[in-house]
Amino acid sequence: MNNERKILIVDDDTSILRSYQKFLESEGYRVFVARDGREGFIAVEKEHPDLILLDINMPVKTGLELLEDLKRTFDKLPLTIMMTAYGDLDAAVRAMNLGAYDFLTKPVGLEKLCFTVRRALETISLAEKAAYFIDQDETPYRDTIVGRDALMVDIYKTISSLNGNRATVLVYGESGTGKEMVARAIHENTSPKEPFVAINCAAVPSNLIESELMGHVKGAFTGAVASQTGKLEAVRGGTLVLDEISEMPLEMQTKLLRVIQEKKFYPVGSTEQKLFNGRIVAITNKNLTELIETGRFRQDLFYRLNVISIKVPPLRDHLSDLKMLVVHLIKKANFVEKTSIESITQEALDFLGSYSWPGNIRELENAILNASVNAKDKVLTRDSFAFLVPGGVANTAQTCTEAPKFEDFSHGELLTLHEFEKRYIEHVLKKLNWHKGRTAEVLGITRPTLDKRIEEYGLTKND
């Protein structure tokens, strides 16, 4: 057990550093050392120690200054024991006021040191016992929508109102918020026995999208070697999902509008009319109103699609669901990746709650998966999420209002894709404090690609 605990000693007296380090290592702890407050701060960021033994009088940065920095940067101060010179009670009291756990008066005997360290670390064990056990919630894993926040409950109400009609639904929201999940839930609640058919308008080449949707007869165009049933027909009375509807070519938008109005269509090259009986659920993470203004989306189609609209909120707006989502996603990791995580500490949950989640639930899912696969035992701790940058993207009121809303990209001026890409990459880099690994992950590109773009666009940290 001891060897999992990390202790950081910060003291400018090398002989003290060495003797405490040797002694605590012999007790089975992992020990790191730093010679002043500045080195100490770097070590805390890097190693996330469970406990800090902190001298007060040091050059460069004192123990009290380090405490203040830590308090400002991290939501929760690591367990800290101050080591004060005899007679410096005043500084000790100030340290306790700043949140230090205890203080020892120098010179500190090794036995006293050991006792104090052990007792302090026991408080962490107690906190960990209060952690959430995945089994406390006995329902087995099911790939379904989770969340009880009022914003989610509104969505469920809208979905249940769809029963018994075929109204077209527009589902919109930022990337990774769960729009596809909502589309599936609509299907499962309204026409579960009928087909669920999806098409991603951004992924199908524009010259093929018509035949994908309407189908075609043999010989209708070069390459049409056999007839093919279109998705509008294949869906029968089920749900047809048009993902990334903003990317549908204008010409196809016109044709789709007609299908929605007339409930009839002709496969490419055919004179035989077919009926459309399904429900269309269109999905977008773009602001369609903005695209209408710039002539890239048909207003009449928008009105037809927007009969019922569902806004899927960004995760930062329904953080009350975080714990439930975390438990669900751990079960999912256990199920899909065969990991065997049994619990998550309160400290880890607090940390996840302080993060702003620019990539929303998809990012949370990836973080849990990553942490679960790499966990050394069956518990996820704060350390398991060391790859998420603390502080910089914490969910403070300020970062919350600055968080990327998808409406934010609607500048009055019209941008080239090139300029838009540049500004967006810059935006994410700033948001994540130039943490390139995380930026690449959020943007869904590789690290070398990100480096190439940074160079190409001449992006620098101080811009």
Ligand X SMILES: Nc1ncnc2c1ncn2[C@@H]1O[C@H](COP(=O)(O)OP(=O)(O)OP(=O)(O)O)[C@@H](O)[C@H]1O
Q: Please identify, using beta-carbon distances, which residue of 42 and 153 lies nearer to ligand X.
A: 153
Shortest Å distance, C-beta 400 to ligand X: 20
Task: Report the nearest approach of ligand X to the CB of residue 325 (Å).
Answer: 6
Q: How far is the CB of 332 from ligand X (least distance, A)?
A: 8
**Minimum Å distance from CB 427 to ligand X?**
17
Rounded Cα–Cα distance for residues 61 and 173 (Å): 46
Q: Which residues are at the interface with ligand X (CB under 6 A)?
A: 145-147, 175-181, 285, 325, 328, 361-362, 365
CA separation (Å) from 397 to 350, 361, 394, 430? 16, 20, 9, 17
3 state DSSP class of 143: coil
Q: Given candidates 25, 68, 180, 421, which one binds Mg ion under the rule CB under 5 A?
A: 180
For residue 331, give every residue at least 6 positions away whose Cβ sits within 8 Å of its Cβ, in sequence order, or none: 134, 140, 141
The C-alpha R_g of the chain, in whole angstroms, comes to 28
Tell me the residue number closest to ligand X, measured at CB.
Answer: 178
Whether residue 243 contacts residue 140, with contact meaning beta carbons closer than 8 Å, is answered with no
Considering CB distances under 5 to 8 angstroms, the limit depending on partner class, which of Mg ion, ligand X, none binds residue 176?
Answer: ligand X
Q: Considering the complex, state which of residue 50 and residue 365 has its C-beta at the smaller distance from ligand X.
A: 365
- Between 334 and 366, whose beta carbon lies closer to Mg ion? 366
Choose the one of Mg ion, ligand X, none that binds residue 175, judging by a C-beta under 5 to 8 angstroms depending on kind: ligand X
What lies within 8 Å, CB to CB, of 254 at 6+ separation is 298, 301
Is 121:79 a contact under the CB 8 Å cutoff? yes
In the complex, the smallest distance separating the C-beta of residue 383 from ligand X, rounded to whole angstroms, is 24
Give the range of 27-35, 179-187, 287-295, 336-344 binding Mg ion by CB under 5 A.
179-187
| Residues sharing a CB contact under 8 Å with residue 146, sequence separation 6 or more, in sequence order | 321, 324, 325, 328
- C-beta separation of 379 from 362 below 8 A: no
Residue 198 or 459: the one with the smaller Cβ distance to Mg ion is 198
Residue closest to Mg ion (Cβ): 180
**If binding is defined by CB under 5 A, does position 402 make contact with Mg ion?**
no
Q: Minimum CB separation from ligand X for residue 410, in Å?
A: 17
Rounded distance, CA 102 to CA 92, Å?
Answer: 9
Q: Give contact residues for Mg ion (rule: CB under 5 A).
A: 180
